Chains A and B, each alone.
Chain A
Amino acid sequence: MTLEFHWFIPSGGDSRELISTGPRGAARSYRAPGYDYLLQVARAAERAGFAGAMLPTTSASTEDSWTLAAALATDTERLQLLVSFVPGLELPASFARRVATLQQLAPGRLKLLMFSAGHSLEQRAQGDFLEHDERYERAGEFLQIARAVWRGGPVQHAGRHYLLNTPGLTVAACEAPPLYVGGASAAAERLAAAQADVRLLWGETPAMVRERIERLQRHGRRPGHALRVHVIARETEAEAWAQAERLLRAVPQSLIDAAQRQLANIDSVAQSRMLGLHRGTTVQDVRELEVSPNLWAGIGLVRGGAGTALVGSYAQVARRLEEYAALGIGSFILSGYPNLEEARVVGERVLPLVQAVSPADALQTA
């Protein structure tokens, strides 16, 4: 089985530091998510050999992923665009049409990443006031309708969240793009088991990933698995840890404390699993946060979302990626600080060292 490697488009801003919260934030090296910069990252990823790049969900501080994808598709040759979305902010048929339009603009280059629930504060800021579990229920209905619309025939749907009765929307009919589903709650796993082509995990330890994969397989249907993790790879292991140390030391303790308070309020199981990887917020030695060999939880101290990085020499990082692949991860979404320069480092130095591993064989021998 071939492994797929994707990179990341920092549409909320980028930086050499862990925190790049924008003009008011702390980073000295803040890079605004202007289109020209994001295009440079996309082209760097394409040249460095990545199959695609992920666009994070649209929010008040993150550019609209759909519009960006349409423009980036025009300005790149073959890069796949992994467009993230949270359902519920628009009607499903309207979403389905946008997907069909993007399929037309970039044939065969679109993948969808669904973060079914988002989190409450972010959702309310955008006008969505449903609670966590209801958001999952709605996500299921949303996807059902979108798939029906893509098939092109008449759609009659009367559910709890949506009503639709349409003779068929030719313009919205298209081949359904591969769907990745994120989230770690029981509701998220039910949804992933029922609807996903690929289930997306954040960079948990191999033991946790194994548990999650086995748990999902008990649902019967067997989607693929993808892992989203940051990478700090250097020529030698010592250099890589020195870089992790530098990233960590650049963040004032007050910002770490503030970030932890904020992250603790997020009603996301995936997020609390990330937080569970590190205890406390004062760190003496950078490697205190090495929660599994070469897996560093330091990013989660200050950032929401995927909070771990693979830290090590090029060869070590390649070995760790192979280990995840052996557990059943078929697709990776990687990123670094900053994303422009690190796309080259990871694409040119690490990826050529990764040997394809057949997950099926690996599971049998495990």
Chain B
Amino acid sequence: MPLEFHWVLPTEGDPPALDPQGRTRQLAHWMAVAQAAEHAGFNALLVPTGVQRPDAWLVAAALTRHTRRLRFIVALRPGLVLPAVAAQRAQTLHELSGERLLLSVLTGGDASEHHAYGDLINHDDRFVRAAEFLRVVRQVWKGRGACSGINHHGAHYRLQNGGLSRPLREPPTLYVGGASPASERIAAEQAQVSYGWAEAPALLQARVQRVAALAAGQGRSLHVGCRLHVVARATEAEAQREAGTMLRGAEIAPNLWPIARPAGIRNGVALVGSYAQVAQRIAEMQSLGVESFILSADAALDDALRFGEELLPLVGSRPAASKPAPAELRE
């Protein structure tokens, strides 16, 4: 699999310090970010989901009309919508975009969106349900075949004589977000990419091996992805100044820092350093077996362009081919 670099569209808007007027919460800005990401050579734009984020499907649908090559990773949390509906929605968006849809299924972790939207399932059941949700979605994509519909009777979902009337020709590549054992198991059974926040090299290496073993147990292979916030500038000192108060606590590994913002949102892990340093760290992660990088920055528009010029050329990324996804990602 060639390296993949994806960009994140923060639909909740850039941090208030950068955007006091909320302009970055508007469609015109999202269009600019999508076009910048396409221009910069990113493979796909991740449209996230979250308590205070708009519907990712519709934002992606609108943005596909303003881009040609850029793919879209639509993030979804099982539990808000029935799987048959999600499967149809994916078909419509995949086809209307010229097969540019990828899906990121968030399996557990953050409960806040589930609770805020009235999905009161407990933590452990969420994983069980996510696995069943994905199974149903993938089954529905296969369509009805010649005569009989799909029947499903599981712990969380039932379906009687269901399935798309027209099977999905080439289902979207599935990403599963989350680094818990349960997430990794779901990815190993059903998805093409398992991704989570970046970690120290030793932990990352362990993750790559664990995921490979889990997938092998299923007779499958699975790619590992890293979610990374990036603060890269010409010099490390400049990048550190730029990162400012977003970083708290100790450096996890060279140039890798935990993000702890006062408001608690947009936390995670950041690479902070010169372009050369950040490229070096990414190359190290790649040598450990990470193939897919989902990058974000505080100023999504400016940094998409900046990284396209300064960073991506250093990490050997070429603009994505027009094929929807690398062939190796297919089951």
Instruction: Determine whether the beta carbon of A71 is less than 8 Å from that of B88.
Output: no
Closest chain A residue, CB of each to CB of B51:
A169
A59-B88, A102-B58 known; A128 vs B117 contact (CB < 8 Å): no
Instruction: Determine whether the beta carbon of A71 is less than 8 Å from that of B144.
Output: no
Instruction: Determine whether the beta carbon of A63 is less than 8 Å from that of B92.
Output: yes
Instruction: Determine whether the beta carbon of B82 is less than 8 Å from that of A23.
Output: no
In the bound complex, CA of A303 to CA of B309 (Å): 57
Instruction: Determine whether the beta carbon of A170 is less than 8 Å from that of B91.
Output: no
In the bound complex, CA of A288 to CA of B126 (Å): 58
**Residues of B within 8 Å of A, CB-based: how many?**
50
Closest chain A residue, CB of each to CB of B85:
A89
Instruction: Determine whether the beta carbon of A128 is less than 8 Å from that of B57.
Output: no
The interface residues of chain A lying within 8 Å CB-to-CB of B15 are: none
In the bound complex, CA of A100 to CA of B53 (Å): 11
Q: Is B163 an interface residue (CB 8 A)?
A: yes
In the bound complex, CA of A165 to CA of B116 (Å): 7
Instruction: Determine whether the beta carbon of B116 is less than 8 Å from that of A127.
Output: no
B54, B83, B136: the one contacting A104 at CB < 8 Å is B54
Residues A51-94 near B (CB distance < 8 A) = 58-61, 63-64, 66-71, 73-75, 89-94
A91-B119, A93-B118 known; A67 vs B58 contact (CB < 8 Å): yes
The interface residues of chain B lying within 8 Å CB-to-CB of A165 are: 115
A155-189 CB contact bits vs B (8 Å, 1 = yes)?
Answer: 00100001111110111000000000000000000
A35-B96, A60-B144, A127-B157 known; A97 vs B117 contact (CB < 8 Å): yes
The interface residues of chain A lying within 8 Å CB-to-CB of B83 are: 127
Instruction: Determine whether the beta carbon of B95 is less than 8 Å from that of A35.
Output: yes
Q: Is B260 an interface residue (CB 8 A)?
A: no
Instruction: Determine whether the beta carbon of B61 is less than 8 Å from that of A67.
Output: yes
A61-B166, A74-B62, A89-B82 known; A67 vs B57 contact (CB < 8 Å): yes
Instruction: Determine whether the beta carbon of B58 is less than 8 Å from that of A101.
Output: yes
Instruction: Determine whether the beta carbon of A105 is less than 8 Å from that of B118.
Output: no
Q: Is A126 an interface residue (CB 8 A)?
A: yes
Please indicate which of the listed interface residues B26, B51, B83, B96 has the most CB atoms of chain A within 10 Å of its own CB.
B96
In the bound complex, CA of A274 to CA of B269 (Å): 60
A58, A129, A163, A171: the one contacting B54 at CB < 8 Å is A171
Instruction: Determine whether the beta carbon of B55 is less than 8 Å from that of A97.
Output: yes
The interface residues of chain A lying within 8 Å CB-to-CB of B117 are: 91, 93-94, 97, 164, 166, 169
Instruction: Determine whether the beta carbon of A89 is less than 8 Å from that of B81.
Output: yes
In the bound complex, CA of A56 to CA of B18 (Å): 42
Closest chain B residue, CB of each to CB of A171:
B52
Instruction: Determine whether the beta carbon of B54 is less than 8 Å from that of A101.
Output: yes
Sample 21 A-B pairs with CB under 8 A, ordered by A number. Answer: A23-B166, A60-B88, A60-B162, A63-B92, A67-B93, A70-B58, A71-B61, A71-B96, A73-B62, A93-B117, A100-B55, A102-B55, A102-B58, A105-B58, A126-B82, A127-B84, A127-B136, A127-B159, A162-B118, A169-B52, A169-B117
